[in-house]
Amino acid sequence: MNLGLDVSDRDGWAVLAVSGEVDVATVPRLREELHRLVADGKHRIIVDLDKVDFLDSTGLGVLVGGLKRVRAHDGELVLVCTQSRVTKVFEVTGLTKVFAIHDSVDAAASSGG
Amino acid sequence: MNLGLDVSDRDGWAVLAVSGEVDVATVPRLREELHRLVADGKHRIIVDLDKVDFLDSTGLGVLVGGLKRVRAHDGELVLVCTQSRVTKVFEVTGLTKVFAIHDSVDAAASSGG
Amino acid sequence: MGEVVRVEIPPRLEYLALARTLVVAAAGMHGPWSGHRLADFEVAVSEACTNAVEAHRLVDQDGPIAIACVSHADRFEVSVIDRGPGLDAQVLRDLPAPSGPARQGREGGFGLPLIRRLADEVRFESSPSGTAVHLVLRRGDTRG
Amino acid sequence: MGEVVRVEIPPRLEYLALARTLVVAAAGMHGPWSGHRLADFEVAVSEACTNAVEAHRLVDQDGPIAIACVSHADRFEVSVIDRGPGLDAQVLRDLPAPSGPARQGREGGFGLPLIRRLADEVRFESSPSGTAVHLVLRRGDTRG
Ligand SMILES: Nc1ncnc2c1ncn2[C@@H]1O[C@H](COP(=O)(O)OP(=O)(O)O)[C@@H](O)[C@H]1O
Ligand SMILES: Nc1ncnc2c1ncn2[C@@H]1O[C@H](COP(=O)(O)OP(=O)(O)O)[C@@H](O)[C@H]1O
C-alpha cells in the first residue's frame, strides 16, 4: 500500500512524517500510528503532510480524531503542509480554523502549540 | 504526448536523445525526426534510448527503417540503452544482431560505426 | 458527446487508487486543466467512489462499480455508478455546510461536502437499485 | 476466479498509454512480479491493444475495445477484446519465428512475435465478429 509513515522526535514534539496516498484504504495505518503515539504518552504531535500526494475525507477524519485525543491530554496536534492540493481539502471543509498548518517542521516545532 | 526528442552533435555523430514513451501513437514524431536528420545529411546517428520508459514494436520498426536509410548512404545508426526493459524487446525480436547497442553515448561515439 | 473511457472495479477500497489513476490519466488526455483543479477533482471523484463501495457493502452487492469518463466541449464529466441501496434525498438536503460547526465535531461525513466543493458541478441520480453521481470539471474555469 | 478490473477505451491509438497505465496498476496490486517481467508483459498487452485498434479501423467499428484484468491464484490474465474482422488462423500459423530472417527486412510485423515472447502464455479466440487475445503473466516464474 502506497502510504509511508515515519516517526521522529524534535524539540519535545513527536513528528509523524506521512508520505504517499492517504485514502480510505490506507488510513487505518495512519489512525493506528496516531493512537499508538498518544498511548505512548506523546501528546504534542506534528503531522508532516508535505510528502502526501493525496488526502481524502477519511484522512481529515483521522486527523480530527487525533486532535481530539491529544487535547484530552492537554496536548496539541499541528500540521505541516505547503502543497495546495492537500491544504485545499482543509480549506473547503473549514478545518483550517481547527488546525494550525505550518510551512515546515521547524516552524511547527517552534510554534506555541 | 509523452515523447521527448532532443538532437545534438558529438564527434561527427548526430545524437538523437529520446525520452518518454515510444508507442504507435507517438512514433510518427520519432520517424519524422529520423527522416529529417537523414535528409539533412546526417548519416551517422546515435539514438539514445536510455530515458525511454516504453518502446513497442512500431518503435522497433522505425529504428529498423532508420538504419536502412543511413546505410543507403553508407552511414550508420547505433543505439544507446542500458535499461533491460527496453533492450529486452530488441533481444526477443533478434534485433540485437542488427543493431549495435552501447552503454553510453561516449561509447557509441567512439565506436567504429 | 465525446469519447468515453469506462472502468469497472470490484467494490473494494483497495481499488480506489486505481480508479483515481484512470480518471486522472483520462482527464489529462483532455486537458490542460489550470492550477491544481485536476487534483481537486480527483479528491471529489475518490470520495464518490468511496461512497459507492460503501453502498455496495450495505446491500452485500459483489458486482462492479463503474466509472465513466466523458470529455465534452465545455467540460470533462465523470460518472460513478453503483448498485447500492440508493441515496436518500433527505441526506443531500440535510447536508450541513462544509465549514459549518456540525462537521468539525465528527470524524466522518466530510465526503459529500468535499464532492460539492471540489467538483464544479455535481448531479445525483438515485433509485432503490443504485446511484449515479455525475461530477463535472468545467473547461475555462480558472479557479484553483 | 479472481476479481476483475475492466476498462473500455475508444478505438484510438491515443488511448493505448491509458490502457497500459491501467493494466500496470492492476497487475501491481496483485504482484509482486520479479525483475522486469511486468514491464515485458506491458509491452505484450500494448501490442495486443494496438492490433485491436487497427482491427476496429479495418471495419469502421467505432465501439470500444475492452481490456479485462483478472488475478488468479497461479496467474494474472489480461484479455483484450475487439469487434474487428477476426484474426485469420493462417496469420498465426504463418508467423515467422521472432528472430527469423523474415522479420528484419520489414519495418512492421513485430507485434505478434513480441506478444508471444513477452507474455508467458497467449490464447487467441476469434470469430468474424471479433477477437479476444488472452495474455497470461504467471506467478512464481522468475524469468526476466
Ligand atoms: N452512493 C451512495 N449510495 C448510498 N448512500 C450514499 C451514497 N453516497 C453517500 N451516501 C450517504 O450519504 C452519507 C454521507 O456521505 P459522506 O458525506 O461521504 O460521509 P461518510 O461516507 O463519511 O458518512 C453516507 O453516510 C451515506 O449514507
Ligand atoms: N486483433 C486482431 N484482429 C484482426 N487481425 C489481427 C489482430 N491482431 C493481429 N492481426 C493480424 O495479424 C497481423 C500481424 O500483426 P502484428 O504482428 O502485430 O504486426 P503488424 O500489426 O505490424 O502488421 C496484422 O497485420 C493483422 O492482419
Task: Say how many Å lie between the first and final Cα of chain A, rounded.
Answer: 32
Three cell numbers, residue A64: 480530527
Nearest to C103 among A25, A88, A94 (CB): A94
The average pLDDT across A12-24 equals: 97
Closest CA to B81 of B17, B29, B11, B14: B17
Q: pLDDT exceeding 90 applies to what percent of chain D? A: 75
pLDDT computed for residue D90 by the predictor: 74
C118 contacts A89? CB cut-off 8 A: yes
Cα D77 to Cα A20, C115, D30, distances in angstroms? 28, 35, 11
The average pLDDT across C90-100 equals: 62
pLDDT computed for residue C98 by the predictor: 52
For residue B72, what is the domain's CATH number? 3.30.750.24
Residue of C37, C57, C99 to mutate for A, most A C-beta atoms under 10 A? C99
Task: Say how many Å lie between the first and final Cα of chain D, rounded.
Answer: 26
Q: Which atom of ligand 2 is nearest to the CA of B57?
A: 22
Domain housing A65: 3-111
d(CA A41, CA A95) in angstroms, rounded, equals 25
In this structure, how many other beta carbons lie within 10 angstroms of the beta carbon of residue A4?
Answer: 14
Report the domain count for chain B.
1
Q: Which residues contact A28 (CB under 8 A, 6 or more apart)?
A: none
- In this predicted model, what pLDDT tens digit does every residue of D76-92 receive, in sequence order? 999 999 999 999 877 77
State the complex-level ipTM: 0.91
- In this predicted model, what pLDDT tens digit does every residue of B49-58 receive, in sequence order? 999 999 999 9
Confidence tier at C106 by pLDDT (50, 70, 90): low
DSSP state at residue B93:
T
pLDDT computed for residue D1 by the predictor: 61
D114 contacts B92? CB cut-off 8 A: yes
Say what the pTM is.
0.92
Question: Which of A19-33, B5-19, C82-96, C116-130 has the weakest average pLDDT?
Answer: C82-96
B54 contacts D104? CB cut-off 8 A: no
CATH architecture, domain defined by C4-138: 2-Layer Sandwich (3.30)
Indicate whether C104 pLDDT > 50. Answer: no
Question: Do D and C make contact, counting contact as 3+ CB pairs within 8 angstroms?
Answer: yes
User: Alpha helices, DSSP H only, in chain C?
Assistant: 16-29, 37-58, 89-94, 101-105, 111-118
pLDDT computed for residue C62 by the predictor: 96
